[in-house]
Amino acid sequence: MLELNKIPFPEAKRLADGGRALTILPVGVVEEHGAHLPLGVDSFAAEIYSASAAPHLEEAGYEVVIAPTINYGVARAAIDFPGTLSLEPETLRSMVVEIGKSLARHGFNRLVVLNGHRDLHHMKALDDARAMLISAKAAQVLVVGFSHDPEMTAACYREGVKQFYQSPRPDREGHGGESETSVALHGFPDLVKRDMIGGLTPNFDYDVEAFRNETKDYSSISDGRGYFGWPQAARAETGAKLVAIRGRNIANVILKAWGAP
Ligand SMILES: [Zn+2]
């Protein structure tokens, strides 16, 4: 696994000419995830899942190239929380299309957008970018992770993980809750405010439909807490398992779509 911004151009040429390159573009956002987690959770998670998926793709014969993360996205539901930043969907869509076209120009024509942020407008923008790149015949493109297609999201993130949840209400775990906090404790523990977690009360009785459909803002449906579920149920060991399984899930989805190179 190589990072595109850490290699010189002759190495990029070798990769593109080799015909086995597969580029992963992690996409996140700057968005609140409760008082205990940093604003960059979804960007960091997208990077962690990219690194976890890469060895499985390499085993199948691909040369995995990780492009620099898009750290900004569309975050309308949480926009009232200090520090949350939002792009317009067209801005995000243009970024992905322009990055995809630049990659394709040099022969990197397999692009996997690995998205760590669940927001309907954000996911739609990524899907629109995918469609534009495909119709321009610029590249093969998949959007994995949190996808506009709920079956894709389930295949990447939900398959094979539920038994590891400690929460008494795994069906209510969401944004900033057990899963994301566990991944944070595993992947970027120094950025977690551990001393705060013990004081976080469960948020199980929120308006699930409003959360899923983004018909109400996160602040009002979480009483200003900014998380959904129970961060106290999170464990670093759970995070390690989630990252390993979801990385394999994501690789499986890609291999099922494209096969080996
Ligand atoms: Zn998140």
Q: For residue 29, report the distance from its CA to the centre of ligand 1, in Å.
A: 8
- Mean pLDDT across 22-29: 98
pTM above 0.95, yes or no: yes
Q: What is the pLDDT of residue 158?
A: 95
Residues β-bridged to residue 111: 23, 141
> What's the average model confidence in pLDDT over 190-206?
96
Separation of CA 96 and ligand 1 centre (Å): 20
8 A C-beta contact, residue 260 and residue 201: no
CA distance 60 to 69: 24
Give the C-alpha distances (Å, rounded to integers) separating 255 from 60, 99, 159, 258. Answer: 8, 23, 16, 5
Output the pLDDT for position 21.
Answer: 98
Residue 55 backbone phi and psi in degrees, to 5: -60, -35
Rounded distance from Cα 136 to ligand 1 centre (Å): 31
Is residue 218's pLDDT more than 90?
yes
Going from the Cα of 106 to the center of ligand 1, the distance in angstroms, rounded, reads 33
What pLDDT score was predicted for residue 228? 97
SS (H, E, C) 114-182: EECCCCHHHHHHHHHHHHHHHHCCCCEEEEEECCCCHHHHHHHHHCCCHHHCCCCCHHHCCCCCHHHHH
Cα 238 to Cα 201: distance, rounded to the nearest angstrom: 20
The two tokens of residue 95 are 């970024």
Position 139 scores a pLDDT of 92
**What is the reported pLDDT for 138?**
86
Ligand 1 mean position, distance from CA 117 (Å)? 5
